[in-house]
């Protein structure tokens, strides 16, 4: 038995934030009923066709769910939705601003028939305030939260290569829902969770916010290098490849000079004797490091780094990550079914002593008939609903 077995989640979701949150609930055993628009579905289904004709975002964030197509604006569709919610434990929605209220999905309304219901609203800017109704996409929130201002090169700010604001919101939705389920077990009552992408992304910005406290300069953009610790980042080696390395303290700096650079006297050079000094003199120190590395191969540099106890890493491409030796050694690889056939997947992080749920990615509306039958609709009722384009 997984910890969320017996918990039913009804999710009016699209894109990344809410689907990522509910997929994790499904991983832990929850039954997730995904409401999708008839004939169209979650628009993330059509972002690309990279996974056997299916969209990469969608197959990642939607395994182990049931897909119910439903026109929630139609009176009969709305009635079906509310029937589902009456016996559900959790409702999740990341609809456009104001849509949930128009559909009667506020906790105040739903809790009249279902006092234990937990409602999680995910939006760009949260309830209240002048930005409440603003549309929000991942890149826009990365910008609003200051992430772009500290990411990239000195000349060019850069977005994250993944939907980091959506993922942050999804993670906080997941953890808040788990906390709400525990709270309900003690009180018998549900609650409303008001979660914004801006709140989630800004929480992750805690270090640069405090670094720039009280008008201090913010961390400079340093590309793939650390903004305030040096040497910490990529360095080109003689064979044209790049090695990533990082130093954290003075003991490692001494070992780096003696073992890796084979220049032990450099450790006492006042230009580089502290991390602050090394960060200030990074141009000169970078030249010293690359001059040393220019006559070495990647393997030789890595061997010296390992011998000195200096943390280092490969700059992997996506194919390298799929084939990472750690996943094979730790048995982290699995397969997940999809409408286009099985695809590889990795176990979710962590573990609770038993395998997580990793069921199929649903086809659009795949579970519509079965779910309607559970609600008491006959075959002819379902046919009529299909003909009326309610489902």
CA–CA distances in Å: residue 312 to residues 246, 254, 301: 6, 16, 10
Burial class (CB in 10 A: 0-12, 13-18, 19+), 334: middle
Q: Where are any strands of DSSP class E within 97-213?
A: 118-123, 192-196
Radius of gyration of the chain (CA): 26
Catalytic site residue from 71, 166, 239, 265? 166
**Are 166 and 93 spatial neighbours (Cβ–Cβ below 8 Å)?**
no
Residue 349, C-beta contacts closer than 8 angstroms, at least 6 positions apart: none
Burial class (CB in 10 A: 0-12, 13-18, 19+), 22: buried
Tell me whether residue 27 is one of the annotated catalytic residues. no
Spatial distance between the Cα atoms of 58 and 15, rounded to a whole number of angstroms: 8
Identify the three-state secondary structure at position 10. strand
Residue 230, C-beta contacts closer than 8 angstroms, at least 6 positions apart: 247, 275, 278, 279, 282, 285
The total number of residues written for the chain in this structure = 391
Identify the three-state secondary structure at position 13. coil
- Cα atoms found within 13 Å of the Cα of residue 356, Cβ hemisphere only: 24
Spatial distance between the Cα atoms of 73 and 96, rounded to a whole number of angstroms: 14
Spatial distance between the Cα atoms of 62 and 367, rounded to a whole number of angstroms: 14
* Residues acting as catalytic residues: 166
């Amino acid at each position: 038995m997984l910890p969320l077995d017996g918990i039913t989640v009804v999710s009016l979701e699209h894109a990344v934030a809410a689907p990522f949150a509910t997929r994790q609930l499904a991983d832990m055993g929850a039954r997730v009923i995904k409401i999708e628009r008839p004939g169209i579905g979650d628009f993330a289904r059509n972002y690309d066709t990279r996974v056997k004709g299916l969209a990469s975002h969608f197959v990642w964030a939607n395994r182990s769910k049931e897909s119910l197509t439903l026109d929630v604006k139609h009176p009969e569709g709305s009635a079906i939705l509310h029937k589902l919610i009456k016996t559900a434990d959790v409702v999740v929605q990341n609809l456009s601003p104001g849509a949930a209220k128009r559909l009667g999905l506020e906790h105040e309304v739903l809790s009249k028939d279902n006092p234990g219901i937990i409602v999680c609203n995910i939006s760009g800017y949260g309830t209240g305030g002048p930005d409440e109704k603003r549309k929000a996409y991942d890149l826009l929130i990365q910008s609003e939260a200051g992430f772009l201002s500290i990411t990239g090169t000195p000349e060019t700010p850069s977005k994250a290569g993944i939907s980091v604001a959506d993922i942050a919101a999804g993670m906080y939705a997941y953890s808040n829902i788990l906390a709400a389920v525990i709270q309900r077990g003690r009180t018998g009552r549900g609650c409303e969770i008001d979660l914004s992408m801006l709140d989630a992304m800004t929480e992750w910005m805690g270090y640069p916010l405090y670094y720039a406290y009280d008008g201090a300069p913010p961390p400079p953009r340093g590309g793939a290098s650390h903004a305030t610790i040096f040497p910490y980042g990529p360095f080109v080696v003689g064979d044209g490849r790049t090695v990533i390395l990082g130093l954290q303290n003075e003991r490692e700096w001494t070992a780096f000079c003696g073992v890796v650079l084979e220049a032990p006297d450099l450790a006492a050079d006042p230009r580089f004797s502290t991390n602050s000094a090394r960060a200030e003199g990074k141009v000169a120190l970078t030249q010293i490091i690359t001059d040393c590395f220019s006559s070495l191969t990647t393997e030789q540099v890595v061997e010296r780094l390992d011998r000195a106890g200096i943390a280092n890493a490969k700059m992997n491409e996506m194919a390298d990550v799929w084939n990472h030796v750690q996943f094979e050694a730790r048995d982290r690889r699995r397969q997940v079914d999809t409408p286009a056939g099985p695809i590889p997947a990795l176990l979710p992080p962590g573990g609770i002593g038993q395998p997580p749920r990793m069921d199929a990615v649903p086809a659009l509306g795949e579970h519509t008939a079965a779910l309607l039958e559970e609600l008491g609709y006959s075959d002819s009722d379902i046919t009529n609903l299909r003909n009326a384009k309610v489902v």
